[in-house]
Chain A
Amino acid sequence: MTTYMASSTSPSYPEQTGTRPAVEITHLRKTYGTLVAVDDLSLEVAEGEIFGILGPNGAGKTTTVECAIGLRSPDSGTIRLMGLDPKTQKDEVHEIVGVQLQEGAQPAKLKVGEILDMYRSFYRDPADVGELTEVLGLAAKRGDYYRSLSGGQRQRLSVALALIGRPKIAVLDEMTAGLDPQARRDAWELIENIRDRGMTILLVTHFMEEAERLCDRVALIDNGRVVALDTPASLAERARGGKTVRFLPSAPFDDRLLTEHNEVTRVEHQGQHVIVTGTGELVNVVLLSLAAAGVTARDVQLDSSNLEDAFVKLTGKHLSKKEEGERP
């Protein structure tokens, strides 16, 4: 559970009406022998959306995206990327999708610029290497050998290779795995920078902080199924059954002042502090009601649950707990 200073996040659903979904997965199922990796998974990603696939190791996240980009064939179910079938229209799909895979290495003795230049030549209307390396903080590294790059720089190069073809859909699988906290924050900033370009981004992660910060919507995956799909804020709120405001009132007041509002579900007293549980615009309701009664609230804290809490509540598991690997 995270404690934020009073602040409210307004969930913003992407505009979905009238546009074809960028990614459409229906009843996807994929097994490896007796192991069911993905079991009846369906989701839709709108164009321009940053969509998170969040779940613990072994939940079926990587298998799902590998099916989506045509690296694996599903046992059943359908997948469409901008209306294209990755199974029968592989070549067309590869032209509009940029991929960053886990464990994606490059030859040690190629230079960054040479690798980018080669991948650039695979596409009809590629991005400018200079601009891309600038955005990714690799501009000074173009003449360096791949083997001399740090883990964070290699990861950024791998993201650059996913974006070099100006894809309509970018699939980033564990983009920040193995990065130190600073490099991770840099990578997040990068995604925030490119989100304005109208690209649809499918972000696979098991870092709830990453999903909370970057994603418009998140699908929580467990045992090969979508257990919940919503904005990060709504999922978190749903998990807790509300949020909590804790404050120190300047004067005693009647609880009914607060309980008469629909947003408020419960009022408790803890020493001199008051704890109000509720939903929606709870902070505003509480502060305005108190102000109207001439009471000021000091030391206001908003406790809100996060995606991790949502995940624990929905699956009984912890996200970050290391479990068996994704692939058989």
Chain B
Amino acid sequence: MTEPLLEIDGLRIESRAGNEPRTIVGDMSLRLAAGETIGIVGESGSGKSMTARAVLGLLPPGLVASGTVAYQGRQILELPEGRLRQIRGGEISLVLQDPFTMLNPLRRCGRHVVELLRDETGGRLSRAARRTEAVRRLAEVGIDDPGVVDRYPFQLSGGMRQRVGLAAALARDPRVLIADEPSTALDVTTQKEILALLKRLQAARGMGVVLITHDLRVAFENCDRIYVLYAGALVEVGPSVDVEAQPLHPYTLGLLLSEPPLDHKVLELPSIPGSVPRHEQVADRCVFSTRCPWVEDICTAAPPPLLAAAPGRASACVRLGEIRSEITARRATRVAPAPLLARPPSAVPLISARDVAKRFGSVVALDGVSMELGEGESVGIVGESGSGKTTLARCLLGLERPDDGEIVVAGIRAENIAALDTATRRRLRQAIQIVFQDPYSSLNPVRTIGAALGEALAVAGRPASGVGALLNQVGLPAEYQARKPAALSGGERQRVAIARAIAVQPKVIVCDEPVSALDVSVQAQILNLLARLRDQLGLSYVFITHDLAVARQATDRVYVLYRGELVESGPVDDVLDRPAHAYTRRLVESVPGAPKARLAEAAEQLTMEGGS
């Protein structure tokens, strides 16, 4: 067996700073051979990014790593800076997550790529040689325009910047590339290109690649083997094909099941209750025991070791022998598909927007977009960044004023809020509310939950005593009203945001990417909550998302926006299964794990099963 390029054993990352010692990663091991792509999959708080940094000795001050990290057999964790610097970039390289902050804004792109190149004698290259190299390497990452060499990062799009970053990381031809969420900050179409590029580069250079991601679909599609991290500990390892088909750990199962399926709508998404704990809280037991449906005393007695469960596979579930068949059964269960709701078209739409146009300076955000929302409907607005979907939502809410077009919400003309009289404006505001994307900044950090919700209730003339009931409605205990947002997890904060939105008893709620900032396991909880509230309270939704799977689950009809224009619309099943417009088609194909063949197959299966 070939010697592994990179081998990590028992890696532990702790924070020594401050009064409270924290463990970021409890025990991490992995093996990477040349030509392989392995994926480290984990949600927030799993410690995956810190693992990458620890390998290169780039942990932020205050964090300390212990254990073994071996590159080509040599220990590198304890190396002095000088030796480590030779390895960085030259043998092992790292590409960061956010292309908008990864590059030095004051340095031209070409310079980023060639600044570390040296000739055979170790001296700097001549000017001409530098330029040639820069052009060549940029072409290698798919940038054919030689003018990019002289451009600054701010002149390029996110996808281009990521390519430049890749070229820079590969400048000294390393054998190992660690890509930390290389596509998370990008649109799904760009994401696909970048991941494909990575594959090409790996094949051409014979590198080993470690792909760090929170997106299971990305991992399955791009990695040979995956390592599943949860709360700082490894819970499962195995080839991605096998892990996907048959997970051997309850957490992996939970993750797989709570991913909203792209190809069909389900009545209720399976979800994992609770949220990810900190490693110290569960260090003495199975890290997943607090949320596992199969938990027993043996799970909380001691941390289970990672044991081989099958050839090439390992699992840290101590009860695996007993529950294996149950896990397999659950995986195979087809969650009940949602029946097609025949909602009668309402006579007067709740929202009607015609030819809405908006520009910011010379940038056209919306170019004549029209849409409708019927009572009780959930309508999706789908698009990538720059499509105008957020602008449209803000226009509906009155947070932006469109330059042109007409918007009617609940019978009130809404495109010029300032011109309305106070009473009408108040009625409008109470008719339509919003849930934002980022749970961390959508609640005022200095106010208690109770105060924030009480204020919302007051706007609707409802008594403040209703706060407790409101919290219960979104699945939170009434005691939370005394807490401040900092004490809540992301999912809990999002529930509070939803509570605030329903407090005024609106008719429409605009959900602006309400789950994209959440972990997958929590995402499903929130989507279920939103669906339940819709039925209970008779709400209608305008659902903004870039995630087609979420759109499939959460909406009845969908509008597809591209660069400010409406390119397609229709019932969500039709649009996603049989996209008419080329852009929609491209969008659907770009979703990881949804090749055309799979889509067609799924559609066929559904028709065979007699309707959905």
Whether A and B are associated in the same complex: the answer reads: no
| Residue positions of A touching B, CB distance < 8 A | none
| Residue positions of B touching A, CB distance < 8 A | none
